[in-house]
Amino acid sequence: MEDAPSGGSKPQAQRGGPVFSTEDHRWMRRALTVAEQALFVSSPNPRVGCVLVRDGRWLAEGSTQRAGDRHAEAQALHEAALRGVAVRGATAYVTLEPCSHTGRTPPCADALVAAGVARVVIGLQDPNPKVAGGGIARLRAAGIQVDVGLFAEDALAQNPGFFARMTRGTPWLWLKSASSFDGHTALPDGRSQWITSDAAREDGHRWRARSCMVLTGIGTVLADDPMLDVRAVETPRQPIRAVLDTQFVLGEQARIINGDPVWVFTTRPDAGKAARLAARNVRVIVLPADDHGGLSLEALARWLGAHEINEVHVEAGARLQGALIQAGLVDEWVAYVAPSILGDGQGLAALPTPIAGLDQAYRYEFLDVQPLSPDMRLRLRDTGRWQALVQACGL
């Protein structure tokens, strides 16, 4: 890579913290870009990028590998060693605080100390209680200059599920929908193939691929018999596929049962059926019912958080989507809209309890609008849940 350019915008302080130079901005932007390489692979670890720089020159870079393999800092140091590049005296730009504990891998803070880096610029402190400033403290105790807070919200936006799981104990959940311009996801008889285009479906598979779990309801399984795996894009791993099946009526020949991991959440234990399904890599999880006899969605969210699920991609019918909305568990919506009018059909969400007035509407903010000819992708986010996450991370 080329040298960092001189000149440019004036260095800026980050919310009363350290002043970061133009070069700092450049290399942290690069680290954020490198972190994107971990989009489909790092779960349940966060997506992190690390760039090593000395005297304005790029030395090496790395992103988080599969769980159990190198973290971003270790990968960058490994790449530098492969190239025969010494990193003593370098600056490491890391999007998330280096870990200070031994988990599946040794502490990255120790690796940076041993490598002799002089400075570490960090996007955001790690909310993991096993780290939570410990990496920063270890680096500073070794005499390394540490500056924190550059592009912190960008680092958070790359890993909403990891930060949500660590701070509130539940994953980041988004709904995916594909509808006509007048808001129908299917004809009255349930036919929906295909309302949106190949481009929209391919983009939807990218969202599946980045998630830890693809979740649907038993109604969708019985009506459509979907696979719910990632097929339209290349991915190094498949997300776990899960079915919310309160009465445990899943057919044992459903296409979703194909040997890859499937989780079934139910309130009705059936040991014999569960044992048969277990032999086919299906895990049956019994959760409590809510006050109305349905499976408790709050208990589901807590269970997923306790089992290292960062991001949940929901592709379901109107009933489950409406129930998740009313339970206050939806963080985001990824909505594909086709330029077509159906006139009548099935809607996006059916709320269990209808709202009494417009002042009770569930409201979101638009994040972006992406053309996917001939369709559009709309991203919406629950502002309150995002701001709560931002505050929980000290931003």
User: Which segments of the chain are extended strands (E)?
Assistant: 12-13, 19-20, 49-54, 57-63, 91-96, 119-124, 145-148, 172-179, 213-217, 240-244, 262-266, 282-286, 311-314, 332-337, 365-372, 375-381
The Cα 378–Cα 365 span in angstroms is 10
CA atoms within 13 A on the CB side of 353: 7
> Which residues are CB-neighbours of 388 under 8 A, at least 6 positions away?
168
Residue given tokens 């402190």 in the structure block: 125
Buried b (16+ CB within 10 A) or exposed e, 69-78: ebbbbbbbbe
Name which of 107, 128, 148 is nearest 18 in CA terms. 148
Name which of 352, 8, 338, 19 is nearest 186 in CA terms. 338
The Cα 380–Cα 367 span in angstroms is 5
Burial of 200 (0-12, 13-18, 19+ CB in 10 A): buried
CB 315 within 8 A of CB 166: no
Based on the residue annotation, tell me whether 73 is a catalytic residue of this protein. yes
Structure tokens belonging to residue 77: 């140091």
The Cα 110–Cα 135 span in angstroms is 8
Name which of 75, 79, 93 is nearest 27 in CA terms. 93
Write down the catalytic residue from 61, 73, 311, 315: 73
Structure tokens belonging to residue 368: 């972006």
Structure tokens belonging to residue 338: 């086709």
| Residue 136 CA from chain centroid, whole number | 25
Residues forming the active site? 73
